[in-house]
A and B are shown apart, each in its own frame.
Chain A
Amino acid sequence: MKLLLTGARVIDPSQSIDSRLDIFLEDGKIAKVGTNLSKSTKTKDSEKITKIMDLSGMIIVPGLIDMHTHLREPGFEYKETIASGAAAAVAGGFTSIACMPNTDPVNDNRSITEFIRRKASDAAMANVYPVGAISKNSDGSQLTEFWDMKEAGIVALSDDGRPVMNSALMRRAMEYAHSLKLPVISHCEDISLSAYGLMNEGYYSTILGMKGIPSIAEEAMVARDILIAEFTKTSVHIAHVSTGGSVRLIHNAKKRGLNVTAETAPHYFTLTDEALQSYDTSYKVNPPLRSKQDVAAIKEGLADGTIDVIACDHAPHGRTDKEVEFEYATNGISGLETSLALSLTLIGNKILKWPELITRMSLNPARILNIPKGTLQEGADADITVIDPELKWTVDARTFRSRGKNTPFNKYQLQGKAVMTIVGGEIKYDGR
Chain B
Amino acid sequence: MKFDRKDILGIQDLSVDEIHLILETAESFLEISTRPIKKVPTLRGKTIINLFYEASTRTRTSFEIAGKRLSADTINISSSTSSVVKGETLIDTARNLEAMNPDIIVIRHSVAGAPHLLAALVKQSIINAGDGAHEHPTQALLDMMTMKEHKGKIAGLKVAIIGDIEHSRVARSNIYGLSKMGAHVALAGPATMLPRDIEQMGVNVFTKVEDAISDADVVMMLRIQLEREKQNIFPSLREYSQHYCLNRKNIQLAKKDVIVMHPGPINRGVEISPDIADDPSFSVILDQVNKGVAVRMALLYLLTGGSE
- Give the B-binding residues of A (Cβ under 8 A): 201-203, 205-210, 212, 214, 278-279, 320, 323-328
Contacts and interface: CB of A to CB of B under 8 A. Distances in A.
Contacts of B116: 278-279
Interface in B79-128: 89-91, 109, 111-114, 116-117
Given A279-B116, A324-B89, A325-B117, A206 B196 contact: yes
A203 B91 contact: no
Contacts of B90: 324-325
A324 to B, nearest CB: 6
B305 interface: no
Nearest to A291: B197
Contacts of B131: 209
A325 B196 contact: no
Interface pairs A-B: 5 shortest CB-CB: A279-B113, A209-B134, A209-B133, A203-B197, A206-B195
Given A203-B197, A209-B132, A279-B117, A326 B91 contact: no
A319 to B, nearest CB: 10
Contacts of A202: 196-197
Nearest to B9: A279
Contact of A327 (B112, B195, B200): B112
Given A209-B112, A279-B113, A325-B111, 8 more contacts: A202-B197, A209-B133, A209-B134, A212-B195, A278-B116, A323-B89, A325-B114, A326-B113
A323 B172 CA distance: 26
Nearest to B175: A207
Given A279-B117, A325-B90, A325-B117, A207 B201 contact: yes
Given A323-B91, A325-B109, A205 B196 contact: yes
B89 to A, nearest CB: 6
A332 B129 CA distance: 30
Contacts of B133: 209-210
A49 B197 CA distance: 65
Contacts, number: 62
A283 to B, nearest CB: 11
Nearest to A214: B196
Interface residues of B, number: 24
A14 to B, nearest CB: 45
Contacts of B91: 323-324
In terms of DSSP, what is the predominant structure of the interface of chain B? mixed
Given A206-B201, A209-B169, A210-B134, A327 B111 contact: yes
B12, B90, B111, B169 pick with most chain A CB within 10 angstroms: B111
A202 B196 CA distance: 5
28 contacts: A201-B196, A202-B196, A202-B197, A203-B197, A205-B196, A206-B196, A206-B197, A206-B201, A208-B134, A209-B131, A209-B132, A209-B133, A209-B135, A209-B169, A210-B134, A212-B196, A214-B196, A279-B113, A279-B116, A323-B91, A325-B109, A326-B111, A326-B112, A326-B114, A326-B117, A327-B112, A327-B132, A328-B111
Interface string B164-181: 000001001000000000
Nearest to A195: B231
Nearest to A328: B111
Contacts of A323: 89, 91
A326 B120 CA distance: 14
Contacts of B114: 325-326
A205 B111 contact: no
Contact of B200 (A203, A212, A278): A203
Nearest to A326: B113
B85 to A, nearest CB: 16
A212 to B, nearest CB: 7
Contacts of A326: 111-114, 117
Contact of B113 (A205, A206, A208): A208
Contacts of A207: 12, 172, 201
A326 to B, nearest CB: 5
A339 B113 CA distance: 29
Contacts of A212: 195-196
Given A205-B195, A326-B113, A327-B111, A210 B200 contact: no
B75 interface: no
Interface string B23-53: 0000000000000000000000000000000
Contacts of A210: 112-113, 132-134
Contacts of B200: 203, 206
A209 B128 CA distance: 14
B298 to A, nearest CB: 25
Nearest to B116: A279
Contacts of B155: none
Contacts of A214: 196
Contacts of B169: 209
Contacts of A208: 112-113, 134
A244 to B, nearest CB: 16
B226 interface: no
Contacts of A325: 90, 109, 111, 113-114, 117
Nearest to B168: A209
B55 interface: no
A202 B200 CA distance: 10
A201 B169 CA distance: 17
A324 B109 CA distance: 13
A327 B132 CA distance: 10
A326 B131 CA distance: 12
A279 B114 CA distance: 8
Contacts of B197: 202-203, 206
A202 B195 CA distance: 8
Nearest to A201: B196
B90, B196, B201 pick with most chain A CB within 10 angstroms: B196
A21 B111 CA distance: 57
A208 B133 CA distance: 8
A210 B132 CA distance: 8
A27 to B, nearest CB: 53
A397 B131 CA distance: 30
